[in-house]
Each structure stands twice: as structure tokens, then as C-alpha cells.
């Protein structure tokens, strides 16, 4: 427990520094998210390998970076929203084809991989399996991570109306901190209250340690954390007037926090289900007492998608 607390404190301080760097430049946070995305993809790839589901981590790792470049070009060229959807589809298809051709052309490497893992299928079938698995990782978790990129640069998109938004930096910072705080509060108090109150299990076959009491406690504290963040930011007159102009209020914040907390817990369960199916306890060992990157952000990346949609709806 001591190791877990120390590691958790270091992660919390470092994450806070990355978030508040947004006051000066958005690119430090971009690099932070990119680093997490690549590490998360590697962890998912290794877990899938234990299920005999092989992927090409080179192409998977390139996906967040390529999508980020495409997003930046779209912002610079002031493209409409559907261009960004097209970018995603084109990049996904291109990497699928390159992955397939790479596996087929470099037969020596492919044969060594098949011998190493005891795979007895044709090279074509093996290449298709790798492409499908790589595509899965490009969507989960890579694409979900990219939601944080979009939040970070939300007001730079030409199709986003910035009328009445005084200081876009503080608004973006609010939504980023809101996403992290709701996730952290939900995760933390789901664990604490679950251990204190105990009671019936939430999903014993997937995650035996999760309880219904913990889920409810995490839900309530997640809402409280999100609402507190909104209150603290509202002390800033520019932020307060901006939120008032776009029609944001406490009830809407509570609604977003409710959905975010629930979806975050679902994301946690999805990650747990994948781990259990591969018979592993954690996605990695990079954080002593906490596991890997995906063990820390499994709910966060789902929440980022929810918050991004909320920004489109309410702004």
C-alpha cells in the first residue's frame, strides 16, 4: 500500500504539471498524451499476444502520431469536421494495407514470428490476422487517446464557433482538468468505499474486487469532484462569463459528470475483461503498485470521448 501511495502521488503531481503547462503552450500536453498513447498501445499489443492475437506494433505506434499530424494539417487548412473523419478512415486503411504488404513481403521475419509463437497458418492468413488485430489497437486504445488531442485543440478547429468565448485557454484547461478529476475521484473512491463498505460484487467474473457499493461511491465522488472543479474555475470572471454566455451551468456540469463517471467505470470494466481473458493481472509494471499505463487510463480515455462530445453539444 505504501508503494502504491508513493507512486500514485508522483503520477498525480506529474499529471498536474502536464495539465497546467496548457496555460503556456498546448504542445507539452500533446507530447504527454502521445507518450501515453504509444505506451498504452504497446501494452495492449502484449496482452493480445498472450491470446495468440498478434499485431504489428510499429504501425500501431505510428497511428497516434500520424493522426495528430493530420489533425494539425486540418486545423491549419481550416477543414470542415467531416475531413477529420475522412483522415481517420484513410490513415486506418493505409496502415492496414502497409501492414499486410510488410508481413507478406518480408517472409523471413514473418516465418520467424510464426515459429516463435507456434503459428501454423499461411502467410496470407497470418498477415490478415495481424492487420485486424493492429486495427483493433488503433481504435482501442489509440483512437480514444486522440480525444484528448481534440479537447486540447478544440477552439482551433474552424467549425467550432468561438463567439463569446473570452479566453479559450482557460475553458480548455477546465475541460481537461474536469476529465482527469472525475476519473481520478471515481477510481479512488470506488476503491476506498468498496474496501470499507464491501457488499455484493459488481462483476465478479470480470473484476472480483469491484463492488456495487464502490461503484456508487465512486459515482457520487466523481460528480462531486467535477462540480468542485467547475466551482473553482467559476471564481475566474472571464471563465464565469464565458460559461454563462454559452449556457453552461451547474446542472449541465453535474449531468456531464454523471455520464463521465459511469462511462469511466465501464471503460475500467472493459479493460479488466481484456486482461482477464488474457489471464494477466496488470497491463504492465512501469508504475510500482499501479501496473501499466492502461491500468491508470482505462477509464480516462473513455471519459475523454464523453467530454469531447459534451463540448460539441454545449459549445
Per-residue pLDDT tens digits for 123-175: 999 999 999 999 999 999 999 999 999 999 999 999 998 877 778 999 999 99
Q: Are residues 154 and 172 in contact, defined by beta-carbon separation less than 8 angstroms? A: yes
Distance of alpha carbon 9 from its chain centroid, rounded? 20
Whether the predicted model's global pTM rises above the 0.85 cut:
yes
Q: What are phi and psi of 224, to 5 degrees?
A: -60, -40
- Specify the pLDDT at position 209: 85
How far, in Å, CA of 218 to CA of 144, rounded? 22
Which residues lie below 8 Å from residue 11, measured CB to CB, with a gap of 6+? 287, 290, 296
CA torsion, points 196, 202, 203, 208, in degrees to nearest 10?
10
Q: Residue 180 to residues 43, 102, 114, 175: CA-CA distances in angstroms? A: 21, 38, 41, 9
How far, in Å, CA of 205 to CA of 203, rounded? 6
Q: Calculate Rg over the CA atoms of the chain.
A: 21
pLDDT of 3 > 80? The answer is no
The percent of residues above 70 in pLDDT, for the chain, comes to 100
C-alpha cell of 28?
A: 507539452
Where does the pLDDT of residue 1 fall: very low under 50, low under 70, confident under 90, or very high at 90 and above? low
3-class DSSP assignment, residue 298: coil
Q: How many CB atoms lie within 10 A of CB 6?
A: 12
Q: Residue 262 to residues 49, 53, 159: CA-CA distances in angstroms? A: 30, 30, 29
3-class DSSP assignment, residue 201: strand
Amino acid at each position: 500500500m505504501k508503494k502504491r501511495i508513493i507512486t500514485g502521488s508522483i503520477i498525480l503531481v506529474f499529471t498536474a504539471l502536464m495539465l497546467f503547462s496548457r496555460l503556456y503552450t498546448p504542445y507539452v500536453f500533446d507530447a504527454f498524451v502521445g507518450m501515453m498513447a504509444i505506451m498504452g498501445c504497446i501494452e495492449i499489443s502484449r496482452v493480445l499476444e498472450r491470446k495468440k492475437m498478434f499485431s504489428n506494433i510499429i504501425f500501431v505506434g505510428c497511428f497516434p502520431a500520424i493522426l495528430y499530424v493530420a489533425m494539425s494539417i486540418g486545423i491549419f487548412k481550416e477543414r470542415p469536421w467531416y475531413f477529420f473523419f475522412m483522415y481517420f478512415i484513410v490513415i486506418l486503411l493505409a496502415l492496414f494495407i502497409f501492414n499486410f504488404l510488410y508481413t507478406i513481403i518480408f517472409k523471413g521475419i514473418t516465418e520467424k514470428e510464426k515459429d516463435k509463437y507456434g503459428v501454423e497458418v499461411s502467410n496470407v492468413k497470418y498477415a490478415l490476422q495481424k492487420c485486424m488485430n493492429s486495427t483493433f489497437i488503433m481504435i482501442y486504445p489509440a483512437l480514444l487517446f486522440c480525444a484528448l488531442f481534440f479537447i486540447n485543440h478544440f477552439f482551433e478547429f474552424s467549425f467550432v464557433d468561438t463567439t463569446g468565448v473570452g479566453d479559450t485557454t482557460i475553458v480548455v484547461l477546465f475541460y481537461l482538468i474536469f476529465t482527469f478529476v472525475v476519473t481520478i475521484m471515481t477510481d479512488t473512491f470506488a476503491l476506498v468505499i468498496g474496501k470499507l463498505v464491501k457488499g455484493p460484487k459488481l462483476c465478479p467474473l470480470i473484476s472480483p474486487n469491484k463492488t456495487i457499493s464502490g461503484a456508487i461511491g465512486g459515482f457520487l465522488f466523481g460528480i462531486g469532484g467535477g462540480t468542485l472543479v467547475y466551482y473553482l474555475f467559476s471564481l475566474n470572471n472571464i471563465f464565469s462569463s464565458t460559461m454563462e454566455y454559452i449556457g453552461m451551468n451547474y446542472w449541465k456540469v453535474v449531468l456531464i459528470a454523471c455520464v463521465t463517471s459511469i462511462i469511466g467505470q465501464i471503460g475500467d470494466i472493459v479493460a479488466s475483461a481484456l486482461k482477464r481473458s488474457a489471464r494477466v493481472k496488470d497491463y504492465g509494471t512501469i508504475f510500482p503498485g499501479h501496473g501499466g499505463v492502461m491500468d491508470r487510463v482505462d477509464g480516462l480515455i473513455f471519459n475523454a470521448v464523453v467530454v469531447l462530445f459534451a463540448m460539441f453539444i454545449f459549445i
